Chain A
Amino acid sequence: MNDGAARQHGQQGKTTKQRSIVLNGRALVMGDDINTDLIIAGKYCKSAEIRELARHVFESMGPNRSQKLRKGDILVAGRNFGCGSSREQAPLAIKAAGLKAVVASSFARIFFRNAINIGLPVMALPGPRKRIIAGERITVDLGKGELAVARTNEVVKGRPMPPFLLDILSDGGLVAHLRKKLRSEKKRR
């Protein structure tokens, strides 16, 4: 999608500490405009109790959702994933359900930030659904911004995640990242 950005990242990779997040799993495929109410309805957002969120995730999408969610799956979706509310329960519910990552053609911005902040890997790629059959094995590499499909040996290239966001994700989210940062700042003083 963006060769310039990829090259630039490659150069940066030599000078800065290389972080990498590589995940593989079964593809759980969904459509466009999956909004935060579909991910987790407002009525379940009184708290952020992990088990409660996991129980009701994607409930409004109905029983005829073609594919059952399994722990360890990687969610593959279309455009504008996570549009709607700023509720952090949306990425929390996806994480609580045991999904490893979300790959989509595009994300709503608050969802994207929230996901990284709570430590759920997310990656935007051009048209991932066109290349993947529901249920097949895929591998995502956030540092490279790539998705690999085992069946076809195809590698779909997106934009690599900026190193400072990879750092937040590798630390497990913004809270852990900030704790670490503040601690090291204190030490330096």
Chain B
Amino acid sequence: MHSTISEKILARASGRERVAPGDIVDARVDVALSHESARLAIKAFREIGVKKVWDRKRLVLLFDHRVPAECEETAVAHGMIREFVKEQKIPNFYDLNEGVCHQVLPEKGHARPGELIVGTDSHTTTHGAFGAFATGIGATEMAAVWATGKIWLKVPETILIRTEGKLGKWVAAKDLALFLVGKLGAEGAEYRAVEYRGRAIASMSMGSRMTLCNMAMEMGAKAAMVEPDAKTSAFLKGRTSGKLSPVNADRNAKYEFDITIDIGKLEPMVASPHSVDNVSPVKEVEGTEVQQAVIGSCTNGRLEDLEAAARILRGKKVPRGVRLIVVPASRETLLDSMRTGIGGRSARGRCESILEILVGAGALVPNPGCGPCLGAHQGVLAPGENCISTTNRNFKGRMGSDGARIFLASPATVAASALRGVITDPRKVMK
């Protein structure tokens, strides 16, 4: 045997002993995730003419892109999906209460190692952080999955990304993710799976691993994964039941190519408008004025991200003219940020929570969800405005006006930039 993680998962899912890159397999789906995109899937499902979904327990549905409904049309769509959930008796439905699907899926124990997850969202790759083969599909394809429980997949080649060394202070998983998108390009991993390996990856939190696997999508990856370990099991403990079937890559697994990154040398990075692979160290765009700063999304809206921002913003105020918007990725994250401090005391001698520090610094905190990432609401940009954001795409028009510019960076860089009103390397604020 010399298989990668993807090859092992797809072999199991298609009932084969072994599969090789290029094989087209009919795979059984373990988890089928949808958000508001379910509306289109329901329409297609009805047209296919099947009465019942193949396995109601394997569907996960929730709303995150437009919550609470920002217009009547969305409200109607939400209602229609709720009706479908009731009709099909789908137990794993979280409505608009829980947050971004890619945060909620693991929190509720549906992101399990060794399993095949499909989702009607491109950032479904996030769940590879738990050792799953997780990939994005469209709504019509989801309808077919609901009807049959199966999907055809071409077994991808795998790229191995090894890390050496340790991330420096105020350098985060997002900086590594941006660096990789810049190095490999927006289609550098197109149709391929990515495996991340190395001591630095092993010592990363589940949240940071999720950031890496999430951003692999921006290099075109079909799936991205980290080998499951004790941290994976610790996260899932109490969240999921039933036997886990984690898989690791074989020692002599065949990779299309592998690259080794010395992450000790990595600096805070930024992706400048209007493409994700327009990446440079922060210092090259330092001083660019920003009117809006966003911390949140499936990429960087977790507790560790809010904590990094709080460490930078404690006891400080974001200046007038800068809108800092912090969107916790989930209700659990929001609650945790209310209850968790960062040590030390405020000027008034109190122990403040992460949320108190952020709100005290002037942050607006909308409800958990996708927030302004996709330009639907909660922080749409005007022409001529600049925004620095922890989200995953800086395409023209993504967050509102075609005339706005979006810079992607880590939570620490976004917080430091909000504080100064210009793009700033966090290491300069936190000397």
Contact = CB atoms under 8 A, between A and B. Distances in A.
Of A46, A62, A173, chain B has the most CB atoms within 10 Å of the CB of: A46
Given A38-B397, A62-B402, A117-B141, A179 B47 contact: yes
A85 B397 CA distance: 13
A175 B220 CA distance: 26
Contacts of A178: 48, 144, 147-148
Interface in A4-61: 33, 35-38, 41-43, 46-48, 59-60
Contacts of B77: 46-47
A113 interface: yes
Interface residues of A, number: 38
B274 to A, nearest CB: 9
Interface string A69-87: 0000000000110011111
Contacts of B402: 59-60, 62
Contacts of B24: 162, 164
Contacts of A88: 37, 40, 138-140
B141 A114 contact: yes
A46 B141 contact: no
A174 B222 contact: no
A62 B397 CA distance: 11
A103 interface: no
B373 to A, nearest CB: 9
B375 interface: yes
B121 A117 contact: no
B37 A86 contact: yes
Interface of A: 33, 35-38, 41-43, 46-48, 59-60, 62, 79-80, 83-88, 106, 108-110, 113-114, 117-118, 162, 164, 173-175, 178-179, 182
B412 to A, nearest CB: 26
B17 interface: no
A80 B187 CA distance: 6
Given A43-B376, A46-B74, A110 B122 contact: yes
Contacts of A80: 186-187, 190, 220
A86 B49 CA distance: 24
A40 B71 CA distance: 19
Nearest to A110: B136
Given A46-B74, A179-B47, A182-B49, A106 B187 contact: yes
Given A46-B77, A175-B140, 9 more contacts: A33-B186, A41-B397, A47-B39, A60-B402, A87-B138, A106-B190, A109-B191, A110-B138, A117-B144
Nearest to B41: A88
B121 to A, nearest CB: 6
A174 B122 contact: no
A185 B190 CA distance: 35
Given A86-B136, A117-B138, A37 B398 contact: yes
Contacts of B152: 164
A87 B121 CA distance: 8
Contacts of A85: 122, 374, 393
Interface string B35-55: 001011001100111100000
B75 to A, nearest CB: 10
Contacts of A109: 190-191, 220, 222
Contact of B48 (A42, A162, A164, A179): A179
B427 interface: no
B375 A86 contact: no
B120 interface: yes
A179 B49 contact: yes
A60 B137 CA distance: 24
Of B50, B148, B187, chain A has the most CB atoms within 10 Å of the CB of: B187
B73 interface: yes
Contacts of A47: 39, 73, 77
Of B122, B147, B148, chain A has the most CB atoms within 10 Å of the CB of: B122
Contacts of B137: 86, 110, 113
A83 B138 contact: no
A162 B141 CA distance: 18
